[in-house]
Structure 1
Amino acid sequence: MKLIVNADDFGYTRAVTYGIADAFKNGIVTSTTMMCNSPHVAHAVDLAKQNPDLGVGVHLVLTSGTPISENVSSLTDTNGSFYSQNNVFDHAKPEDIEREWTAQIERFLSTGLNPTHLDSHHNVHEHAIALPIAIALAEKYGLPLRRAMNVPNLDVAYNTVKRTTFMMRAFYGEQVSYETLEGQLRNVSVLDKNETVEINCHPAYIDPDLISKSSYVDTRLKEYTILTSDRIKNYVNELGIELINYRML
């Protein structure tokens, strides 16, 4: 059984990026995805290059900050900011999503880094409007794509696009605890040795920028503490789980 532990939101703020990098160096995080519309991209790129064994992909954004491409008016409110996750698909046109996500991928490529995979902020790529676009972009760029849902018919839609066998999301919000993560790890450990799982997470340090932009703040530091603990690292070893990133699929 092989496990990818992916930390979302690389580049969101400087403290988030530092927290993710340290969760890789000191814990079980193996992978992360960069928010390429963030003003802190350059800092994230620097840390990615300092940690070449950390898998870094693209965290496709539709619901945080502002677009980096022009002429995508269906994605933004009157202030020019992305709509919230609650109403973005009341407005978004597929052609604007494709244009903006392509721009984000191209910005990542312009840094000289090679992306390991694609996923999305707030998992918006699982929406019926966005999923075909995400799959098409994964095919275009030859990249794996995060499994949107654990349903059999999804494999037909993904076609040849690489993905994990399962996606586990319980380690979030009020469910962030040692017990939740250990339960997920036990579920991974009983799988066939050739099956792969992603557990996504949001470890971070906290800075004023994060507090001003996100409602998910203190729990990120709690995630960091658990993911870097000897208790969890030893448990992964006891279960014989192989930690990988998307480059190894």
Structure 2
Amino acid sequence: MIEVLVNADDFGLTKAVNYGILDSHKYGIVNSATIMMNAKATEHAIEIAKKTPSLKVGIHLVLTWGKPLLSDVPSLVDESGFFKKQGVVYGDPAGISLSELEREWSAQIERFLEFGLFPTHFDSHHHVHGIKAFLPVIKKLSDKYGLPVRNAGSHLAGIQTVTDVFLDDFYGETVVEDYFQNLKGRVMDGASVEIMTHPAYMDEELMEVSSYNEKRLKETRILTKAKLPEGFSLRFSINQVKI
């Protein structure tokens, strides 16, 4: 049997995103979501999470969208006080202070905890936790909070990952009707796999804050109808550590 974690990223981005994630869980195969702690609909996502205990909830650490929670992290922001763009971070990770990064990401985790929820794991917006230069911070946070992380690269050896395999290709042009039926043969029996998804409904705010928008609606439709092939199970046990 192959255990499957179907994770919805960007929980909290907008209310339309939140409702898309909720329906993809209630009526579909999404069994996990990770919350952005610096978005306008974060508290709305928290409310949904508290009312939906069957949905596993983790933290979607942010470095490349919106504003940081802290005001004294100059290496993380541009001249307008917003997080640096994705291309800037990936192009010059050495320009990011690791101590500032650790403080900001710790603040995001602590904000999650302040709501009285216990995270199952963490990942990151635009996969920035997979940047090799940030490994010391990821290791510290994983150890400190007892949380596994998204398996975003081989350099994470020595850090507990939430699954053995991570698939990020249910996205964009590869959001297709038979994606989940075609999982057979992609993962070895007995392994665990995480599949990244971005379900949502549409609202004006989503159109304003994300260039990835209409495809999210298609994802929602597929995720609420999809069935896993024989040998795959949504029963997934995460080693959740209460803090």
TM-score w.r.t. length of structure 2: 0.92
RMSD of aligned residue pairs (Cα, Å): 1.6
Give the counterpart of 1:209 among 195, 205, 208.
Answer: 205
Report the Cα offset of residue 10 of structure 1.
0.3
Q: What is the correspondence of 1:118-197 to structure 2 with a 5 Å cutoff?
A: 118-149=122-153, 151=154, 154-155=156-157, 157-158=158-159, 161-183=160-182, 185-187=183-185, 191-193=188-190, 195-197=191-193
Asked if the contact 1:144/1:163 (under 8 Å) is kept, the reply is yes
1:102 to 2:93 alignment: no
Contact 1:55 1:246 in 2 (8 A): no
Task: Output aligned runs, 1:9-48, within 5 Å.
Answer: 9-48=10-49
Greater helix proportion: 1
Deviation string, structure 1 residues 103-162 (Cα, Å, up to 9, x no partner):
00000000001101010001100001223212220111001111012x4x543x32xx24
Change (3 A) 1:187 1:136: farther
Contact 2:162 2:238 in 1 (8 A): no
Whole-angstrom distance in 2 between the partners of 1:192 and 1:103: 38
C-alpha change, 1:107 and 1:245, in structure 2 (3 Å) is farther
Offset, 1:88? 2.0
Q: What letter matches 1:138 in structure 2?
A: S
Structure 1 stretches of 5 or more lacking a match? none
Residue 9 to residue 246, structure 1, CA distance change in 2 (3 Å): farther
Does 2:86 align with 1:85? yes
Aligned residues of 1:118 and 1:144 also touching (Cα < 8 A): yes
Tell which deviates more after alignment, 69-78 or 82-91: 82-91
> What are the residue-to-residue correspondences of 1:222-233 with 2, within 5 Å?
222-229=218-225, 232-233=226-227
Runs of 5+ in structure 2 lacking a partner? none
CA distance in 2, matches of 1:17, 1:57: 14
TM-score (norm 1): 0.90
Q: Is the 8 A contact 2:3 2:236 kept in 1?
A: no
Equivalent pair of 2:150/2:163 in contact (CA under 8 Å): yes
- What SS is found at the alignment partner of 1:12? coil
On the 8 A contact 1:31/1:245 being kept in 2, the answer is no
Query: 2:75 maps to what in 1?
Result: 74
Aligned residues: 236
- Asked if 2 retains the 8 angstrom alpha-carbon contact of 1:28 and 1:228, the reply is yes
Q: CA deviation at 1:180?
A: 3.2
Identity %: 47
Task: Report what 2:52 is aligned to.
Answer: 51
